[in-house]
Amino acid sequence: MTPYDGEVRVSGIEELIYHIYGVIGIIDSFPVLYKDEDKNIIRAVAPKYNSHNERSSQSPYNDLDWHVDAAYRPMTEKSDNLSPIVDYSIFGIVHKGHENLPIVYISLKDILNQLSYQDILIGCSNEFIVTSADSFSCKIVSNNLPLLVEHATGYYSRIKMDAIPETQRAAGFLNKIREIVDQESIQNYIYVTSGDIVVLSNKMVLHKRDSYSPKWDGEDRYFIRIYSVKDINQGILANSAQPWIWV
């Protein structure tokens, strides 16, 4: 049954959860949760009552525009008070839902291929404001962030289409990104069925989800999601005895 209160019921989906943890191990990563985002390491990605004013994975009423999860966080190194962005978003499919909405993503490389070097330099500048999802009990606003971060072999992304530009050239960069992500030729669609597991490399893709109308009959779209990271030691711990709970 699809839960409509945002809470995962483990009973009946144990096998899917075991398989997700198996995938997490195979890709040599570690499951984590952010203390202020979730109470449990497994998140219910399902429609929630009374979420009309949210833009989050638990609100069916609003489109979720192209984004990277946890984009308001530091990219690879912990800051004074925040752990970094997760490396993977891993979805287990319980119900695909009546609308059969696909998981839609764009590879970062397909965006970078259409940017000039000057565009990329602007994307790497600290000229953007990025906020946490509306489902947070206390919204987090991060100022003076880059949307692209260079690393040894390329770039990571925290691109969110609702990022706020702090300069005119930053606004131009976001307009250029909008032109690119609207191209259907670079959009990838994954149509899922119950039991499927989908791994998104969080800092290397953007994903989105259209709004939909639940039937509230227990068979609506219901995914479970676990975040995982390559380096568990990158996080700031809420409790040293629980290294999977990050601040």
State the Cα–Cα distance between residues 191 and 71, nearest whole angstrom. Answer: 25
pLDDT of residue 78: 84
The residue behind tokens 């691109």 is 159
pLDDT of residue 48: 93
- Could you read off the pLDDT of 180-205 as tens digits, one per residue? 999 999 999 999 999 999 999 999 99
Sign of the torsion angle spanned by Cα atoms 156, 160, 7, 200: negative
Q: Is the pLDDT of residue 136 over 70?
A: no
- Which of the residue ranges 106-115, 133-142, 227-236 would you say has the lowest mean pLDDT? 133-142
Architecture of domain 14-246 in this structure: 4-Layer Sandwich (3.60)
pLDDT of residue 195: 98
- Could you read off the pLDDT of 27-69 as tens digits, one per residue? 999 999 999 887 899 999 999 998 888 888 989 999 999 999 9
Q: Is the Cβ–Cβ distance between 114 and 180 less than 8 Å?
A: yes
Share of the chain above pLDDT 70, in %: 99
The residue behind tokens 């489902």 is 135
Q: Is the pLDDT of residue 80 over 80?
A: no
Tell me the whole-structure pTM to 2 decimals: 0.94
State the Cα–Cα distance between residues 127 and 8, nearest whole angstrom. Answer: 38
Q: How would residue 73 be classed by pLDDT, with cut points 50, 70 and 90?
A: very high
Q: Is the pLDDT of residue 134 over 90?
A: no
What value does the CA radius of gyration of the chain take, rounded to a whole number of Å?
A: 18
Which DSSP string corresponds to the chain?
Answer: ---SSS----TT-HHHHHHHHHHHHHTT-EEEEETTT-SSSSEEES--TT-TT--STT-SSS-EEEE-TTTTS-SSS--SS-PPPPSEEEEEEEE--TT-PPEEEEEHHHHHTTS-HHHHHHHTSS-EEEE--TTSSS--EEEEE-SEEEETTEEEE---TT-EESSHHHHHHHHHHHHHHT-GGG-EEE---TT-EEEEETTTEEEEE-------SS-S-EEEEEEEES-GGGSPBSSTT-TTEE-
Mean of pLDDT values over 68-75: 97
Mean of pLDDT values over 170-176: 99
Q: Is the pLDDT of residue 170 over 80?
A: yes
State the Cα–Cα distance between residues 202 and 71, nearest whole angstrom. Answer: 9
Average predicted confidence (pLDDT) for the chain: 95
- Could you read off the pLDDT of 118-128 as tens digits, one per residue? 999 999 999 99
pLDDT of residue 90: 99
Who contacts 108 (Cβ-Cβ below 8 Å, separation ≥6)? 155, 156, 157, 159, 203, 204, 205, 206
